[in-house]
Each structure stands twice: as C-alpha cells, then as structure tokens.
Amino acid sequence: MIARITLSSVTLPLKQAISDAKVLTGRQRPMTEVAFLFAEVRTTDGLDGLGFGYSKRAGGRAQYAHAAEVAHELIGEDPNDIGRLWTKLAWAGASVGRSGAATQAIAAIDVALWDLKAKRAGLPLAKLLGAYRDSVRCYDTSGGFLHEPVERVLDNAEAARAAGIGGVKIKVGHPSPAVDLARVRAVRDRLGDDVPLMVDANQQWDRPVATRVGRALEEFDLTWIEEPLDADDVDGHAALARSLDTPIASGEMLTSVAEHVRLLDAVDVIQPDAPRIGGITQFQRLAALAEHHHLTLAPHFAMEIHVHLAAAYPHEPWVEHFDWLHPLFNERLDIRDGRIHLSGRPGLGVTLSEQARAWTVAHTVIQKGPE
C-alpha cells in the first residue's frame, strides 16, 4: 500500500538565457530556468518510485500546489492500480479541468507509480511496458537555439554528433526567413546530406509564411518541420502536410489526449510530452492511437522518461536529447551510434542528485499521522 508521497518543487537554473522564435516575435522572454515537480512514492513494504514533471517560464508553482492538494487521495491505496488511481486524482481536481496544470500535477505522481511498478518487477520501465527495441534514435535540440550565432550552432551540431547523437534539430522562425534559410543551409553543408536534420519554428509562422518557407526548405531533405503553425491550427497543419514533401511534426504544446486526437490525421510526426499530458498512463493511450494512424513518434523533452516510452512504440521512433537535466540525476543515459541505449537499471533508471535536493524551493510530505 502507499504509505507516503513526497513532493518537491525544484528550480533548475539554465547556464544561459535561451531564446527561440517566441522570444524574437516578442511573445515570450528568454528562458532562464525550468521548474520541476518531483514526486517520490513510498510503499508500506519500503519500495520507492520517482516521477517528475516540469514547467517552462510559468506554472511550476501551480503544478506543485495542485499535486499537494490531491495527493492525499492515494494514501493507503494499492500502487499497482495505476489507471484507477489516475482517474481518482483527476476527479479529485475535476473542477479545474482535465488538462493543463491540473493533469500535469498528476503526471509526476503517475510517473512515480510506473517507476515503482517496474522496480517491483525488477525491470527497466520499457521492458515492463513491452519494449520493441533496446535502443532509440535520438537527435539534439539544446545546441540549436536562435540566441546562438550560426558559428556556435555549427560547433554545437558537430559536438552532438561526436557525442554519439544521431540527428540535429535547429530553431527557425526568425523574423527574416532569409536568416532561417541561411542557418539551415550552413548546418546542412557542415553535417552533410546523410545526417538527419530537423527544424522547429515554435508556432511562429502563419499559413502563407509556413507554406513559402516550407517549400524553400524542401531542398535540404529535412526529417521534419516542427510546429510551423499554432498548435491548435489542425486544418492548417493538415493542409501544409498535403502540400509539402517534408514531414510535418507537432503536438508538444497540447496538454491532453483529447487535444491530440484532432491532430492525428493532420501531421506525419506526433510529439506528445508525457509530463504535459498527464503522465505515462495517458501517454500509452495516445501512443496506441498514434500507432493506429501509422505516425512516427517523437516525444518532446524529458528524455529520461521518453526513452522508455519510445522503446515500447511499435514503429521506429525518435527521442529528443537535451543536456539541461543532467544536474538533476546521478545517472547518465548511454548514448552512442546515434541512439540512446536502455540500461539494465529497473524503473526509469535514475535517482535524484544532491544538487537537485539543493535546488528545492518547496517540499511537502503526505502521509497518515506525523512525519
């Protein structure tokens, strides 16, 4: 039975301020930190599960507060009944909805329950879910942001390849499409034609610009164009996918399975984020739908979670590599030959570092009786 749930709000400072197209268009400020919600679930027989979610810029405190308000519902419950417990938590906070911060708060606890279940079985999470492979293709994003001059982007791309990462994604959506095209051309020339290359506009184009720039990008044989349009513009994504040879990818900003369902017939690559849509329980529901639509799966961010979920997807997926989270965990993922290889460690295979504990800004222990 579940005896205790410990929730921690952790603020991860970034080494430098990060800017993508949303900053250049004036819609957001540069990002300087990421807020994480960690959930640690302990059972009466002394087993522990670890899960996490996150928020960029705003929302971290809301996630933490909501989790602290509903987590007591699980004390005394059987941690193996993960689907039922997800529903119980969702109903506990139903008045604030079934997407956004409410379900993102549940996600951290849900991931912890899956980590716990895999540890109880003595298996990596991917094996518990039913892995199709022991490694997953990966691509780097952290070196391709728009605040970086193109020379640094080129150096970062080469460093990523040298570190064993398979593909490279760079940000586009600059106010001048000519700048985007010049940066893409420079990266393609440096990497050669055989290296998978993706671009990400972060929803900053309208339909005419996305069409014009998308056609200009065709010559670079991109693996995909990501978020060319507003995440809710399903019809626009579908029209763009029909008009271009380059695959269209989207989904990371959606915060429920229901929101993704409308996108399944509009894109070629679906990019759900388990912490954003409510955890592994919801991700598995969406993955089944995506497989039915024969979509490529490329989960967003949180590679420590997503490598397991991608390994359990029937079609060959991608996982996004970010080095931002390295200080939070004691372990590192095994990256070589263009792929992330599963470790033999049970569960997610990661434990919280002392640095993560030091960055904790709020902490709650939920259990029966005194702490």
The pLDDT score that the predictor gives to residue 343 is 95
pLDDT in tens, 270-311: 999 999 999 999 999 999 999 999 999 999 999 999 999 999
109 within domain boundaries: yes
Torsion of CA 273, 126, 319, 342, to 10 degrees: 140
Is 56 flagged in the annotation as binding? yes
Is 337 flagged in the annotation as binding? no
Is 155 flagged in the annotation as binding? no
pLDDT in tens, 116-146: 999 999 999 999 999 999 999 999 998 889 9
Q: Which residues pair with 139 in a beta bridge?
A: 167, 320
Residue span of the structural domain in which 277 resides:
126-341
The CATH number for 207's domain is 3.20.20.120
Instruction: Pick out the chain residues at pLDDT < 50.
Output: none
70 in the same domain as 131:
no
148 in the same domain as 58:
no
Is 354 flagged in the annotation as binding? no
317 in the same domain as 189:
yes
Phi (first) and psi of residue 285, to 5 degrees: -60, -45
223 within domain boundaries: yes
Q: Which of 171, 174, 237, 306 is catalytic?
A: 171
The pLDDT score that the predictor gives to residue 99 is 85
What total of structural domains would you count in the chain?
Answer: 2
Task: Return the beta strands (E) in 182-305 as ranges.
Answer: 197-200, 224-226, 248-250, 269-270, 296-297
106 in the same domain as 190:
no
136 in the same domain as 282:
yes
Q: Which of 252, 249, 181 is closest to 218 using CA atoms? A: 181
The pLDDT score that the predictor gives to residue 368 is 79
Please state, in angstroms and rounded to a whole number, the distance separating the CA atoms of residues 63 and 364.
Answer: 13
**C-beta atoms surrounding 76 within 10 Å:** 12
175 in the same domain as 76:
no
Q: Is 300 an annotated catalytic residue?
A: yes
Q: Which of 300, 306, 308, 321 is catalytic?
A: 300
Q: Which residues pair with 11 in a beta bridge?
A: 35
Please state, in angstroms and rounded to a whole number, the distance separating the CA atoms of residues 258 and 50.
Answer: 26
Is 117 flagged in the annotation as binding? no
The CATH number for 81's domain is 3.30.390.10
347 within domain boundaries: no
Instruction: Supply angle C-alpha 167, 172, 178, rounded to 5.
Output: 120
Instruction: Supply angle C-alpha 249, 315, 277, rounded to 5.
Output: 55
360 within domain boundaries: yes
Task: Answer yes or no: pTM beyond 0.85.
Answer: yes
**C-beta atoms surrounding 74 within 10 Å:** 21
The pLDDT score that the predictor gives to residue 369 is 63
Q: Is 260 an annotated catalytic residue?
A: no
The pLDDT score that the predictor gives to residue 57 is 85
Q: Which residues pair with 39 in a beta bridge?
A: 7, 51
Residue 187 CB partners (closer than 8 Å, separation 6+): 144, 153, 154, 157, 168, 170, 197
348 within domain boundaries: no
Is 330 flagged in the annotation as binding? no
